[in-house]
Each structure stands twice: as C-alpha cells, then as structure tokens.
Amino acid sequence: MKITSLLLLSAAFSATIASAQQRPKITGDSHLSVYTSDAAKTEAFYTHDLGAAKRPDPQSPAGVRYYFSPVQFIEVLPLQGPVSQISRFDHAGYNVSDADAMRRYLATKSVTVPEKVTTNSDGSKYFEVKDPEGNRVQFVQPPDHPADVPHNDLSTHIIHVGYVVHDVEKEVAFYRDILGFRPYWHGGPTDDSNNWTSMQVPDGTDWVELMKVVGEPTQTAAGQLNHFSLGVPNMEQATNLLFNGDRFSGRNSAAPKIGRDAKWQLNMFDPDGTRAEVMEFQPMGKPCCSPFLLPSPKQ
C-alpha cells in the first residue's frame, strides 16, 4: 500500500511538473488595442507627441499600429458603434515564444481557445481568449523578421499595460494560476487601498496592472484606467525632450510627479482619453501600500 501510494504521488508530481513545463514563455507586453473617434488627431498624438512609428496593421486592415519597438505597439482601431461608446479599450496583448503551443496549453486549463492560431501578413501568429470578466486577451508570437522601426528618443519599451476589472481575485487567479504571472506590486490612492494590482509576466519584467472599479466608469475615468506605460531612464530628460519638441497639447501637462509606487511619472492622453504613462524604470524611494516583490525593468 505504501509503495502504491508513493507511486501515485510520484505520478501526480510528475504530471504537475509536465503541465508547468508545457507552458511556453510569456516574455513581455505586446500591445494595447484602443479605439479612436478622430484618426488624424490620434496619429498626431502617437507619432509627434510620443514619437512612435506608424505602420499598417497586419491583423486588421481598418487599423493602424504605432510601434515603440519592433515587437511592441499600440493598435488603434476606428470607433465602432455609436459615438457615445464609453470605453475605448479593445484588448491587451502579450508576446509569447510559441503561439500554438500556448493555445494548446490553455486548452488543457479549460480556457476556451480557437481551433487554430491566425497567421498575419507580417508572419506573426496570434490567438485570443477572454479573461474571467470577458476582456479580450491576445497572445502574439512575433514574426521572424519584426517591423523595421526607427529608434524612438522618448522610449523604446512599453513596460506595462493596464485595464479596468471588477473582480480582482478572479483576474489574479487567471493571470497567476493559469498564465504564471507573478505578483509585483499593489496599491491605490490611499495607503490601505488595493485598487491597482500589478503582475509581471513569467519570463520578463513587463507587467499588467489590473485597475479595480466598482460600477461602470465614465469615458474620462475609463481612459485614465485603461492605459499603457512607456519606460524611461530619466524623467527630467524625458520631460525636456517633450517640452522642447512642443509635444504637449490638450490635456497633457509638463508636470511630472512621483506616483504611489515611488516612480517618477508623467501622464499624457490621446484624443479619446486613453492614458499614456511615461514612467521611470526604477523607483526613487519606498512605495506606498506594498513593497516591490520582483526587480523592476532596467531599460
């Protein structure tokens, strides 16, 4: 009986190890996809203000991509439905080493997946699933020959993406238990709040920030919460670059601040209100609410 029990335990342990090993690498953030009601104004924001490189969207002919690096971009789609549509968020995407292997892995975790991955015109491969609240999440295998984009003097690294959620525990279980994301930091507007939950990808330093809300936010609030962050080594240099290039307009302000996570940041907004958060890679002091549990990105 003891030998049988040990064998069963060993088999179960081996199965657990095998299951963990079959998940392909999730190496970083790929993109955030948002809607625009004014393509021309949006293009000016992403190309002039933020310095991104405009390229065709190989996934959606109606869309446009604004690249910050060969494998990271913001996808902008024309607004669908009535102009009064509140949220401009469409989906978040993450880079993986093998899209089809990720699809098969998620199927073993009872996640609904498509029958096959899609290959885009640029050679990239992707598929999408829905998180516990129905938000669309894409997994992208970059092409063998990524987009040729010029160096961006402001930033070449999207260090995190964030979007609105309601049930943080369910979202954390999805990202942690199924995808292998790791707790990084959590905080909020007060020291005892837990409105923002950050989780790093399992095979890199990029992260997702789950933005907890109660009820449905207004368009302005949704744009503040659904956001992406551009990493910079020095906020003063970044602000000088933006100011001297006449790259502040509309709601955008040349007033950086220290965030609750003790990192210098500067908030800018596209014409539909989606927030672009320029942020230093490293904290300058002790964060509120919780310590950092993992190393922050360095570049």
For residue range 182-199, what is the model confidence (pLDDT) as tens digits?
Answer: 999 999 999 888 899 999
pLDDT tens track for 128-141: 999 999 999 999 99
Q: Give the number of C-alpha atoms closer than 13 A to the C-alpha of residue 99, restricted to the C-beta side.
A: 26
What's the CATH code of the domain at 93?
Answer: 3.10.180.10
Q: What mean pLDDT, rounded, does the chain reach? A: 91
Which of 77, 59, 57, 69 lies closest to 27 in space, CA to CA? Answer: 69
Q: Is residue 17 part of a domain?
A: no
Co-location of 240 and 212 in the same domain: yes
Q: What is the C-alpha separation between 70 and 214, in angstroms, rounded? A: 37
- Structural domain boundaries, residue 121: 26-141
136 and 188 belong to one structural domain: no
Full-model pTM: 0.91
Q: Amino acid identity, residue 217? A: P
Q: Are residue 56 and residue 134 in the same domain, yes or no? A: yes
Residue at 197 is within a domain:
yes
The SS3 of residue 88 is coil
Domain membership flag for residue 192: yes
- Do 174 and 243 fall into the same domain? yes
270 and 230 part of one domain: yes
Same domain, 118 and 58: yes
Residue 2 falls inside a structural domain: no
Rounded Cα distance, 126 and 103, in Å: 9
Token pair for 72: 């990271």
140 three-class SS = strand
SS3 36: strand
Q: Does residue 213 lie within any of the structural domains?
A: yes
Phi and psi angles of residue 171, each rounded to the nearest 5 degrees, phi first: -65, -45
Number of domains in the chain: 2
> Average pLDDT, stretch 151-167?
97
- Per-residue burial over 180-209, b if 16 or more Cβ lie within 10 Å, else e, is bbebbbbbbeeeeeebbbbbbbebbbbbbb
Write down the pLDDT at residue 249. Answer: 76
